[in-house]
Structure 1
Amino acid sequence: MSPETSLLRESLTDPLTHEDVTASTVGAVDVFDVDPAYDATLGELPDDRFLDREVSWLRFNQRVLELAEDESVPLLERVRFAAIFASNLDEFFMVRVAGLKRRIAAGLAVPSASGLQPREVLDLIWQRTTELMQRHASCFRDKIIPALAEQQIQLQRWSDLDKEQQRKLKKLFKERVFPVLTPLAVDPAHPFPYISGLSLNLAVLVRNPKTGKEHFARVKVPPKFDRFIAVDEQRFVPLEDVIAEHLKPLFPGMQVVTVHTFRVTRNEDLEVEEDDAENLLHALEKGLQRRRFGPPVRLEVEESIDAHVLDLLVTELGMSASEVVSVPGPLDLRGLHDIADLDRAELKYPAFLPSTHALLAEVESASPVDIFGAVRERDVLLHHPYDSFSTSVQRLLEQAAADPHVLAIKQTLYRTSGDSPIIEALIDAAEAGKEVLVIVEIKARFDERANIKWARKLEQSGCHVVYGLVGLKTHCKLALVVRDEPDGIRRYAHLGTGNYNPKTARLYEDLGLLTADPNLTDDVAHLFNNLSGYARHPSYEHLLVAPHTVRDGLVERIRREVTHHEVGRPARIRIKANSVVDEVVIDALYDASRAGVPVQLLTRGICALRPGVPGLSEMVEVRSILGRFLEHSRVFWFENAGDPEVLIGSADLMHRNLDRRVEVLTPLLAQATKDEVGRMLDVSFAEGTSAWHLQSDGTWQRRTTDDGGQPLLDLQEWLIQQSRRRKA
């Protein structure tokens, strides 16, 4: 899986955009259920205080599209944002829309927290997505293609090519593409073929010249080939154009009347029964086989499609006309990643190489620093991608695997890369005779196959592999190293906000704590025992762990800020998360605002809280920052009467994270680590920092310049410059 693919999935699945956005795989909780615990806090709060989460997500993807439209963004990065927008929307339909339709059909869906009925939500989704898809197509056709042409990168259709270029592609078609194509006719002897989800297809109408009778056939565009075929180094044409112009050899003796492209999105919301934990792996594998046959939820066609061909597709696919989206071609712009990958450095963000954290940097030596010695001295707060993952987290595990004094390594794995050095380090440790426990979450959405593969490879190498807890996904990011030292056994831990994936660590903004503080490592050790055995330890001395204590712990701290404020002590709440949806926490934040406590939220994706509502949320400010890197860390700052309490971790403020996952929030105990986070938050919320600002009606306003027209500070560029200064 490419880093770009992972980036896309984060938009939904965490989302941009790789974490789930529906109910748990057991389907026990409806996505529209409101936690009954918050009923007691309603009091005088208005019924319309929550923004709809689905509409909020669509507005997130609109912000992605705005980056594709932004001429101040390097051109090939705009191309990538256009591709990300397309993939984000695909997964939104595959999961969110599919799940909503399934629940409506089963009579299970209830009104959302925003008060909208499920059918109203679905209607809004279709209205907004149709508008966004049209805007996306216009951006590609009217802005990106001309801008690329100015840089001698030509994205053309078949009719734009000259004769020599067409001859070249005809030869390529004959030699490479034609042998792979399979025309599938539709007639009494040939039923309408199965159309796989997200595949690009040609609807072909052919005529028998002897009888004059017309017949329908489907030709699938082979996904193994590049989406845009290179005519030369800087000129490209959609693969379906090449196929459409050379269909005669596929239908000898027939006349090709019309050719139209279409694309189907299917329900890929995987459900697995977890009643029998021993068979979870096999049940998941069977579920993966069924996923590709999910019912269709969206049909995309080009605007030029013939009405009777469209009617045929709608009828045969069992869809309604309301589920059809017509846009200017070409369809499926996910393939723009290939264009964004062109070797044109001047059209991309300037190259950036993460630096080794100052506390882990080599000192007058060519050999790597002793990670254990450095962490024994003090806690180390890592900020990726500005701090290198490979010379910190990866090096910790590699040194642990090779160190004869290390007795055991324990690790959670939610997602990792295909050629993961993390996996290799764990295997090396097991083969060296160390005790290695790996909690592999095989239900990580869209990474199930990869995680099953890694789980088996780890098991075969002698690692103890556990698939997590029945009914819960293990989403926390933890590593624990147990080392025999002269003064006794010492534990070292890494607690992070992001996955153990070296590739996405260069693209995602995340925080991680390296610590040997027994206050934290003891809690981590207890948690691993809970995950691997029958021990149940729902409360911990310092960690907040979902599904037991994260929500209550956060609400308790929010209410403590109210108490501080009421007696005149310093009080403030700052939260950075991917999504803020949970009604209990939002109501607590409303209460804090009404009491006069300043509340600042930095949310990349969904936010169901309405800021700036008189008498409700006048003290709440909500910002969103999107850019070169995917903002992914979760931070919870409580001023606490001048002695700030700061937590980082894996949990977003969503039902799935707080109720159906094992999540961990860890406090930063060292003052230096708190100060680092404080500086980052100060800049994030500074008036001079560029960001989108959420309005009380749910819309977002982007501010990139000050009142005098001068550019505002780019947070991520500022952090890059800070990293370079430290390196120098």
Structure 2
Amino acid sequence: MIDPALADSGLGDAEDDDFDELIAPDDSLLPESRYLDRELSWLAFNQRVLELAEDETLPVLERANFLAIFASNLDEFFMVRVAGLKRRIVTGLAVPTNVGRAPADVLADISADAHTLQRRHAAAWTGMIRPALAAEGITIVDWDDLDGEAKAELTDYFQANVFPVLMPLAVDPAHPFPYISGLSLNLAIRIRNARTGRQEFARLKVPPMLPRFVEVPSVDGELRFIRLEELIANHLDDLFPGMEVLDHHAFRLTRNEDVEIEEDESENLIQALEAELLRRRFGPPIRLEITDDMDDVTLDLLINELDITDQEVYRLPGPLDLRGLFGLGRIDRPDLRYTPHVPTTALAFKPGANERIDIFKAIRKADVLVHHPYESFTTSVVAFLEQAARDPHVLAIKQTLYRTSGDSPIVQALIDAAESGKQVLALVEVKARFDEANNIVWARKLEKAGVHVVYGLVGLKTHCKLVNVIREEDGVLRSYSHIGTGNYNPKTSRIYEDFGLFTADPQVGKDLTRLFNELSGYAIEKKFKRLLVAPLHLRKGLLRHIEKERENALDGKPAHIRIKVNSMVDEQIIDALYRASAAGVPVDVWVRGICSLRTDLPGITDNITVRSILGRYLEHSRIFAFHNDGDPQVFIGSADMMHRNLDRRVEALVRVTDPAHIDELLGFFDLALSPETSSWHLGADGVWTRRAFSEVGAPLVDLQDRTMSQIQQRRRARAVR
């Protein structure tokens, strides 16, 4: 069995043979069909987003925002997941999916489900949200709805602001079919040459830098907008003088935009990535969206020129690219939005009267657990780094950066620290999907300021969220650490739910020092005390804790497993949870997105509950809690339960030790999983059912509103004391 001396590490030694034996039990009792297809599960997640858009009890501008989120999510799904399946088929590497099916079969299922969802999405806009906006005095008009005066004003706008940037491209023997960029909105135009009588084809790209919804002169105070493509379509005669415009239709192409980087120790990762980003722009087409009124002549031309199949054509009964609804965010109608939540400063970091908070002093006093966005990222993480940058006693700052904003105060703090003579190490993950180009820019900015920038380990993405600050105090070096569940990004911290732990625990400092040495140098660590680290130890550490709960249940001891993640896909972890459930362990899984774990296997999943919660904030934190016979072992960190996180990324979980913090995290689970809280329940055959109202029709508790209230109540209670 496990060496008791390693019990507090949650990890053990990688060379522990007994440990390997412990996590390799007989799975013969588990049925072969015990996982849900991960791709179809992702589509089910996006359906939950769509259900929020369809929810008439939500403010209408928030519903429009959820429509935009659905569209953006689906774009990324096609660019990455569908593209990956198609690439495996084309290259002959069509290994079975996680449920043992051929990729071609899964692709057909994805197409069927995605077609249904996209039509439902279009119908939600046309039949629900557009009318609901109009009822609130925000009307999306068509050109034919406008009077002459409004048309004249819009024509002036078109001539001054749109016409100069349009670039119509003819298609004829002298002009080959143009390159269609991924996710661009286009008009396919058929015209007749008035002189020759010959029909021609032209493509016109809708400029993405212009507002998608153009404001129309108001009537009786009503806000009115027209879609940019509608405005352009009604001025095509200006673009083709001497031609007769016969017809026009909108279309939109999605391309494979996943990045594949083959690394070796001798190549320059930045140069290789820049070359791959250039290649990404010319990835093969994987989806063609068209309006439902497109004629067969135009469609056949597009299919032939783009080399796309009928299965990849999505004919939609409404406007294309509803990501444009994000643009309605500029409308000043707070009555049509969620009631604002104002982030509070964590109690430990709240300054007293007439004093400036000393972050280091607060952390020395006790570990600090911060919950974003309910508690401010600016007055915790940013303040911590800014104080470290200007503090003359700070000697070194080490930080991982996966995604951050280009104007980030965090990047500026690292630059300030380096320019003041401190040792600064930034481990930048330039391969963070779709943020690669931005990360390259500010990585070079850091290098110019004197920051030691490294790009992690060959073949692994560095996904962990870590800061280690070394400060000299009375001739002794002390470590101050932050381990988080979310990115060091001030912008997303306002909408992503995450936890972060600040600690001056020397053991955590030693663990982080060793981990940073491994990431920046050649050290190879086999043990950490308060961290679980992937790829070498995290999987084994979690499996050991799950197995311990199973053993406790078999011995008649109390047991309980609670896991909150974005995705639950890894088969080994799922099988371990099945075995624990079969032994009588209550297993609560709280997942935002993909879930391959089933709940409908008699005798195996009887004790498993799976819930999903979506709302104004994106549930992003990862929490792992084990009852441990009354001595709870609770971890927070960056890892989801996916192969890539456990095997191909550097991830870190930290064990939370303060009893009050443990109670807070377990209380968070209690609230989320309560039958009184609104959530989606995973049932038979992977079907998710939303439960937002009680049996008598009363709305159930909104987790995010209640969490905000609880944090504010705690703050008021402390203030009274």
Structures share fold, TM-score greater than 0.5: yes
Q: Work out whether 1:177 is the aligned partner of 2:165.
A: no
The match for 1:386 is 374
Superposed CA deviations along residues 527-566 of structure 1, whole A, max 9, x for unmatched, are 0010111111132122111001111111111000011111
State the Cα distance separating 1:596 from its structure 2 match: 0.5
State the Cα distance separating 1:249 from its structure 2 match: 2.2
What SS does the corresponding residue of 2:134 show, helix, strand or coil? helix
State the Cα distance separating 1:691 from its structure 2 match: 0.4
Superposed CA deviations along residues 453-478 of structure 1, whole A, max 9, x for unmatched, are 11100000010000111100000000
State the Cα distance separating 1:232 from its structure 2 match: 3.6
Give the conservation status (yes or no) of the 8 Å contact 1:437–1:464: yes
Q: Work out whether 1:308 is the aligned partner of 2:308.
A: no
Q: Work out whether 1:407 is the aligned partner of 2:395.
A: yes
Q: Work out whether 1:653 is the aligned partner of 2:641.
A: yes
Give the conservation status (yes or no) of the 8 Å contact 1:277–1:470: no
What SS does the corresponding residue of 2:107 show, helix, strand or coil? helix
Give the conservation status (yes or no) of the 8 Å contact 1:612–1:620: no
- CA distance in structure 1 between the aligned counterparts of 2:217 and 2:276, rounded to whole angstroms: 43
Instruction: Give the stretch that moved more between structures: 533-542 or 547-556.
Output: 533-542
Instruction: Give the stretch that moved more between structures: 400-409 or 41-50.
Output: 41-50
Task: Give the TM-score normalised by the residue count of structure 1.
Answer: 0.94
Q: Work out whether 1:79 is the aligned partner of 2:28.
A: no
Give the conservation status (yes or no) of the 8 Å contact 1:647–1:667: yes
Give the conservation status (yes or no) of the 8 Å contact 2:38–2:595: yes
The match for 1:103 is 88
1:541 to 522, 526, 529: 529
Q: Following superposition of structure 1 onto structure 2, how do residues 702-721 of structure 1 map, counting pairs within 5 Å?
A: 702-721=690-709
What SS does the corresponding residue of 1:133 show, helix, strand or coil? helix
Give the conservation status (yes or no) of the 8 Å contact 2:364–2:503: yes
- CA distance in structure 1 between the aligned counterparts of 2:265 and 2:244, rounded to whole angstroms: 57
2:232 to 235, 239, 243: 243
Q: Work out whether 1:116 is the aligned partner of 2:101.
A: yes
State the Cα distance separating 1:282 from its structure 2 match: 0.5
Letter of the 1:468 partner, please give it: G
The match for 1:34 is none
Letter of the 2:495 partner, please give it: L
- CA distance in structure 1 between the aligned counterparts of 2:393 and 2:232, rounded to whole angstroms: 61
The match for 2:141 is 156
- CA distance in structure 2 between the aligned counterparts of 1:177 and 1:228, rounded to whole angstroms: 13
Q: Following superposition of structure 1 onto structure 2, how do residues 495-574 of structure 1 map, counting pairs within 5 Å?
A: 495-574=483-562
Superposed CA deviations along residues 142-179 of structure 1, whole A, max 9, x for unmatched, are 00011000111011222222221111111111112111
Change (3 A) 1:38 1:315: farther
Superposed CA deviations along residues 636-684 of structure 1, whole A, max 9, x for unmatched, are 0000001100000000000110011000011012212111111111111
Give the conservation status (yes or no) of the 8 Å contact 1:539–1:548: no
- CA distance in structure 1 between the aligned counterparts of 2:547 and 2:356, rounded to whole angstroms: 46
Give the conservation status (yes or no) of the 8 Å contact 1:385–1:510: yes
Q: Following superposition of structure 1 onto structure 2, how do residues 133-282 of structure 1 map, counting pairs within 5 Å?
A: 133-232=118-217, 234-282=223-271
- CA distance in structure 1 between the aligned counterparts of 2:389 and 2:70, rounded to whole angstroms: 40
- CA distance in structure 1 between the aligned counterparts of 2:508 and 2:337, rounded to whole angstroms: 41
- CA distance in structure 2 between the aligned counterparts of 1:277 and 1:133, rounded to whole angstroms: 45
Superposed CA deviations along residues 255-311 of structure 1, whole A, max 9, x for unmatched, are 100011100000001112211454111110111111100000000000000111000
- CA distance in structure 1 between the aligned counterparts of 2:366 and 2:441, rounded to whole angstroms: 37
Instruction: Give the stretch that moved more between structures: 422-431 or 708-717.
Output: 708-717
What SS does the corresponding residue of 2:686 show, helix, strand or coil? coil
- CA distance in structure 1 between the aligned counterparts of 2:350 and 2:32, rounded to whole angstroms: 54
1:454 to 442, 454, 457: 442
Instruction: Give the stretch that moved more between structures: 647-656 or 210-219.
Output: 210-219
What SS does the corresponding residue of 2:83 show, helix, strand or coil? helix
The match for 2:572 is 584
Q: CA RMSD in A?
A: 1.3
2:360 to 372, 391, 398: 372
- CA distance in structure 2 between the aligned counterparts of 1:646 and 1:514, rounded to whole angstroms: 15
- CA distance in structure 2 between the aligned counterparts of 1:124 and 1:678, rounded to whole angstroms: 38
Letter of the 2:497 partner, please give it: E
What SS does the corresponding residue of 1:54 show, helix, strand or coil? helix
The match for 1:326 is 315
The match for 1:16 is none
Give the conservation status (yes or no) of the 8 Å contact 1:53–1:606: yes
Give the conservation status (yes or no) of the 8 Å contact 2:567–2:592: yes
- CA distance in structure 1 between the aligned counterparts of 2:603 and 2:100, rounded to whole angstroms: 20
- CA distance in structure 2 between the aligned counterparts of 1:276 and 1:217, rounded to whole angstroms: 48
What SS does the corresponding residue of 2:149 show, helix, strand or coil? helix
- CA distance in structure 2 between the aligned counterparts of 1:424 and 1:170, rounded to whole angstroms: 45
Q: Work out whether 1:69 is the aligned partner of 2:58.
A: no
- CA distance in structure 1 between the aligned counterparts of 2:195 and 2:113, rounded to whole angstroms: 48
Give the conservation status (yes or no) of the 8 Å contact 2:369–2:661: yes
Structure 2 residue ranges without an equivalent (≥5):
1-21, 717-721
Q: Work out whether 1:621 is the aligned partner of 2:609.
A: yes
Q: Work out whether 1:284 is the aligned partner of 2:273.
A: yes
Instruction: Give the stretch that moved more between structures: 132-141 or 540-549.
Output: 540-549
Letter of the 1:388 partner, please give it: S
Give the conservation status (yes or no) of the 8 Å contact 1:206–1:215: yes
State the Cα distance separating 1:68 from its structure 2 match: 0.3
What SS does the corresponding residue of 1:678 show, helix, strand or coil? helix
Q: Work out whether 1:437 is the aligned partner of 2:437.
A: no
Give the conservation status (yes or no) of the 8 Å contact 2:292–2:316: yes
Q: Following superposition of structure 1 onto structure 2, how do residues 599-638 of structure 1 map, counting pairs within 5 Å?
A: 599-638=587-626
State the Cα distance separating 1:213 from its structure 2 match: 1.3
Give the conservation status (yes or no) of the 8 Å contact 1:41–1:587: no
The match for 1:494 is 482
Give the conservation status (yes or no) of the 8 Å contact 1:539–1:545: no
- CA distance in structure 2 between the aligned counterparts of 1:603 and 1:154, rounded to whole angstroms: 37
State the Cα distance separating 1:706 from its structure 2 match: 1.7
Change (3 A) 1:38 1:492: closer
Give the conservation status (yes or no) of the 8 Å contact 1:441–1:473: yes
Give the conservation status (yes or no) of the 8 Å contact 2:95–2:102: yes
1:397 to 367, 373, 385: 385
What SS does the corresponding residue of 1:204 show, helix, strand or coil? strand
- CA distance in structure 1 between the aligned counterparts of 2:23 and 2:348, rounded to whole angstroms: 44
What SS does the corresponding residue of 2:268 show, helix, strand or coil? helix
State the Cα distance separating 1:115 from its structure 2 match: 2.7
Letter of the 1:151 partner, please give it: E
Letter of the 2:330 partner, please give it: D
Letter of the 1:495 partner, please give it: I
Give the conservation status (yes or no) of the 8 Å contact 1:435–1:463: yes
Letter of the 1:82 partner, please give it: L
Task: Give the TM-score normalised by the residue count of structure 2.
Answer: 0.94
State the Cα distance separating 1:199 from its structure 2 match: 0.4
What SS does the corresponding residue of 2:311 show, helix, strand or coil? helix
Superposed CA deviations along residues 562-611 of structure 1, whole A, max 9, x for unmatched, are 11111122100000000000000000000001001000000000000001
Give the conservation status (yes or no) of the 8 Å contact 2:564–2:590: yes
